[in-house]
Amino acid sequence: MKVVIGNNEKISALIAEEFIKQVNEKPNCVLGLATGTSPLKVYANLVQACKDGRVSFKDVKTFNLDEYIGLEGTHNQSYRYFMNDNLFNHIDINKENTHVLLGVGDYLAYANNYDNLIKQAGGIDLQILGIGSDGHIAFNEPGTPFDSLTHVAELAESTIVDNSRLFNDISEVPTKAVTMGLRSIMNAKKIVLIATGKNKARAIFNLLKGPKTEEVPCSILQDHPDCTIYVDEDAYSLAK
Ligand code: F6R
């Protein structure tokens, strides 16, 4: 794994350039996308690059990592809403080519077919990940099997607490999600992970220096042939 260190501004700009390069080299590529605070500046850079005519997403397909169970796509904390609001509504992508797991209705059938859909699209060329303070990637919490595909997951207590900052009250945070599995993520051809802030330092230490164990879901990335970890000084502080 390669490590790139810089402030959020810098690492977000570098990751955005990786995305722009990917799309310009293969205009019909498949992108794997994440939600949360971590990729926000990356998406802002992509919106600007598209407005500036440096990149076009018109033939790109996207697959998001996860979605809360129980939230409609129109709910302002759903991940479909997040993606429309922070990226898709501001670039020239065809919304029909954007895939986000369903949180309501027949979400199980859709989840069970998600890895097939990705495969049919040709597989993910470039995947962006954030990381949870407990080392989760997507909603694969500690103890998730390394060979997992897309599935229903229970959120860990620490994740519910972390994510409650975005809801009016912690009781509103869904306790379950549908998520790509660890094997689904590892199938991506190239992975970039972004982490900033002190509360990610333990997870980044475990990712870079710890043993590979299902108790630390992100540690599976140690086996990926093309994975780069983008961190700020705070997130890197324990792994130095
Ligand atoms: C979101 C996702 C999660 C987040 C992680 C970090 O799609 O898959 O694993 O990346 O919880 O969240 P933030 O970036 O809000 O700290």
Q: What is the pLDDT of residues 6-55, one digit of tens each?
A: 999 999 999 999 999 999 999 999 999 999 999 999 999 999 999 999 99
What is the rounded distance in angstroms from the CA atom of residue 237 to the CA atom of residue 232? 9
| Catalytic residue check, 169 | no
Chain center to CA of 225: 18
The DSSP letter of residue 197 is S
- Which CATH number characterizes residue 183's domain? 3.40.50.1360
The one catalytic residue among 141, 151, 162, 232:
141
85 is a catalytic site residue: no
What residue has token string 């094997």?
Answer: 183
Q: How far is the CA of 132 from the centre of ligand 1 (A)?
A: 6
Q: What integer pLDDT is reported at residue 93 of this predicted model? A: 98
Mean pLDDT, the chain, integer: 97
**pLDDT digits over 61-109, tens only?**
999 999 999 999 999 999 999 999 999 999 999 999 999 999 999 999 9
Give the span between the Cα atoms of 140 and 203, in whole angstroms. 13
Distance 122 CA to ligand 1 centre (A): 25
Instruction: Report the domain count for the chain.
Output: 1
For residue 190, what are the domain limits? 2-236
Of 134, 151, 162, 224, which one is the catalytic site residue?
134
Host H or E run for residue 205: helix 201-209
